[in-house]
Amino acid sequence: MPIAFIFPGQGGQFVGQARSWLDRDPALSEILALADEVSGRPVTRLCLEGPLEELSKTANLQPAVVATSLMGHRLMRAAGLKPDFACGHSLGEFSALCAAGVFDERTALALVSRRGAIMEEAALKNPGAMTAILGLSAEDLGAVCELARNEGPVVMANFNTPDQIVISGDIRAVAAAGKYVKMKNGKVLPLPLSGAFHSPLMAAAQEKFAAELEKTDFRPPTCQVVPNSTARPTDDPAEIKARLLTQMTSPVLWTQTVQTLAEAGVTDFREAWPKPYLTSLIKKSLPRDTAPRAEAFA
């Protein structure tokens, strides 16, 4: 049966996130050292020792998450696993593309280091917020966002499960949307993020990052990849590059991505992270009677 390698983005980080895998294979320290080198940031120390506040800063977190995910990918390969599909949630797309052979580990870490710095800069210039909404349909939440736009830009940014959608945008607009959601008996869970990722507030960052992608060669993938912004499998390097850029301001269609993989026959989802993070989202996005195997490679 087809197998999918799944890679997380920001949100699942924790102090010591690379420790268990490093204990399993000390040679994996070379990935952390590479991340230190190409990012110019103390990725090894932050992954192993924290503090969490510093680790969670976007410019630090992006290379830290990808470095840890690439450690997991090496272990998965060493265990004899080979993906038929690879995809990642937001930032996780870079890890997925590396796993699919589109570019190497150094390139992946260099790209996300630059991306993280650019996005952190954009967040400082245009502060935003992100909030998870539970219990509202996409149609109802879309109407809520429309009302809240009187306060500023706000959009549906992450379609994580059929029952969980993250909104992103101007701080006042996100707060206003939250009030409307509560009036409709939905749940509001503010996320500890300083930027309005996957929203129009990242347009300037997208423009800057375009130059980085333009000078990067993308090879044909060794397996099918599923971009966040389309939720449709592709093996076209030009499309992969284009979608990697557009996803900075477009929503993460994670629910649709998981359902696309299931329709392609995937019942085995392997998450390259030391603790379950995307695993629960996968199970919630599929019918209970399908009983998918979804687990972190811990």
Contact between 195 and 209 under an 8 Å Cβ cutoff? The reply is no
| Domains 3-124+200-296 and 128-190 are alike in CATH topology | no
Q: Does 90 participate in catalysis according to the annotation? A: yes
With tokens 């949630």, the residue in question is 89
Which of 69, 90, 194, 285 does the annotation list as catalytic? Answer: 90
Q: Please say whether the structural domain 3-124+200-296 has been given the CATH code 3.20.20.140.
A: no
Query: Residue 150, Cβ neighbours under 10 Å: how many?
Result: 9
Task: Say how many CA atoms lie within 13 Å of 203 toward its Cβ.
Answer: 4
Question: CA of 221: how far to CAs of 63, 77, 88, 207, 237, in Å?
Answer: 22, 16, 14, 25, 7
**Is beta strand 293-296 parallel, antiparallel or unpaired with respect to 268-271?**
parallel
Q: Does 89 participate in catalysis according to the annotation? A: no
pLDDT on residue 292: 60
Identify the CA nearest to 100 among candidates 86, 118, 89.
86
Whole-structure pTM value = 0.95
Share of the chain above pLDDT 70, in %: 97
Amino acid at 285: S
CATH number, domain 128-190: 3.30.70.250
Which of 39, 113, 198, 199 does the annotation list as catalytic? Answer: 198
pLDDT higher than threshold 60 for residue 171: yes
Return the domain boundaries, the chain.
3-124+200-296, 128-190
pLDDT tens digit string along 60-105? Answer: 999 999 999 999 999 999 999 999 999 999 999 999 999 999 999 9
